[in-house]
């Protein structure tokens, strides 16, 4: 556990999730063509399309039941199509068009975070779930922010809390993979990776 935390993640093998529920939601998003595509980020060298987001204001009930404290900010899906490459980065909102275009997501963010600050805050951490895709071929990789040296590959075989900003960056190389979808529950503001880890360790966050 300590080794994982030092590398910027924490596996949550006791977290209960109905993956079919997530798969069914993604099928519904696909059927409605409701993905909000993000262009390659010019500030991220090597970034390649296509990938997209879908903000899910209502957390699936089977996942929601795991939480004692509903202090997360929002949840949603991220889809990487074949050929997608996301170089090492931290998560911010300034260059995230799909969030700015989604009025429902914007309203949700503003109820969770100070209205004047939300768009400038990084995503501190998130719990990641693999919905479908080959995460051995296309894992999420954590890097040292300053050097971009690789720390670890994560395949999300179990729900995993992951640091998303600060001294650790992350990226995905799906240039050799197929469709790849994750579900993510995100934390902002004072809910840093370290704070969320402590809440989990102390039995304050999860049942």
3-state secondary structure 150-169: EEEEECCCCCEEEECCCCEE
Q: Highest mean pLDDT: which of 25-34, 82-91, 173-182, 194-203?
A: 194-203
Answer yes or no: is pLDDT of 97 > 50.
no
Answer yes or no: is pLDDT of 98 > 80.
no
Distance of CA 65 to the CA centre of its chain: 19
Structure tokens at 52: 């997209």
pLDDT band at 95 (very low <50, low <70, confident <90, very high): very low
Mean pLDDT of 150-159: 97
Mean pLDDT of 51-80: 86
Structure tokens at 87: 């170089």
pLDDT for the residue 50: 65
pLDDT for the residue 31: 94
Answer yes or no: is pLDDT of 27 > 60.
yes
Q: Which residue has the higher pLDDT, 190 or 167?
A: 167
pLDDT band at 107 (very low <50, low <70, confident <90, very high): low
Contacts of 141 (CB under 8 A, 6+ apart): 88, 150, 151, 152, 153, 154, 170, 171, 172, 173
Q: Mean pLDDT across the chain, nearest whole number?
A: 84
DSSP 35-98: -EEEPPPTTSTT-BS-EEEEE-SS--HHHHTTBSS----EEEEEEE-TTEEEEEE---STT-HH
pLDDT for the residue 49: 54
Q: Exposure of 4 by Cβ count < 10 A (0-12 exposed, 13-18 middle, 19+ buried)? A: middle
E strand or H helix at 144? strand 140-144
pLDDT for the residue 38: 67
Q: Which residue has the higher pLDDT, 22 or 107?
A: 22
Enumerate domains of the chain plus CATH numbers. 2-201 (2.60.120.10)
pTM: 0.87
Nearest Cα neighbor of 138 from 189, 180, 96 is: 180
pLDDT for the residue 40: 55
- For residues 157 and 133, the answer to whether their CB atoms sit within 8 Å is no
Q: Which residue has the higher pLDDT, 192 or 118?
A: 192
Residue written as token pair 């880890």: 197
Q: How far apart are CA 138 and CA 92, in angstroms?
A: 22
């Amino acid at each position: 556990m300590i080794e994982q935390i030092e590398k910027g993640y924490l596996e949550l093998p006791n977290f209960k999730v109905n993956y079919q529920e997530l798969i069914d939601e993604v099928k519904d998003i696909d059927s409605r063509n409701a993905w909000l595509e993000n262009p390659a980020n010019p500030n991220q060298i090597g970034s390649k399309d296509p990938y997209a987001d879908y903000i899910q204001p209502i957390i699936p009930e089977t996942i929601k039941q795991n939480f004692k404290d509903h202090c997360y900010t929002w949840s949603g899906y991220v889809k990487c199509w074949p050929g997608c490459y996301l170089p090492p980065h931290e998560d911010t909102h300034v260059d995230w068009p799909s969030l700015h275009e989604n009025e429902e997501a914007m309203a949700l963010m503003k109820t969770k975070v100070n209205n004047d600050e939300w768009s400038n805050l990084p995503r501190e951490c998130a719990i990641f779930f693999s919905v479908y895709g080959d995460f051995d071929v296309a894992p999420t990789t954590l890097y040292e922010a300053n050097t971009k040296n690789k720390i670890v590959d994560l395949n999300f075989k179990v729900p995993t809390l992951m640091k998303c900003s600060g001294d650790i960056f992350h990226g995905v190389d799906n240039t050799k993979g197929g469709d790849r979808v994750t579900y993510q529950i995100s934390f902002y503001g004072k809910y840093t990776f370290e704070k969320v880890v402590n809440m989990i360790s102390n039995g304050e966050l999860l049942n």
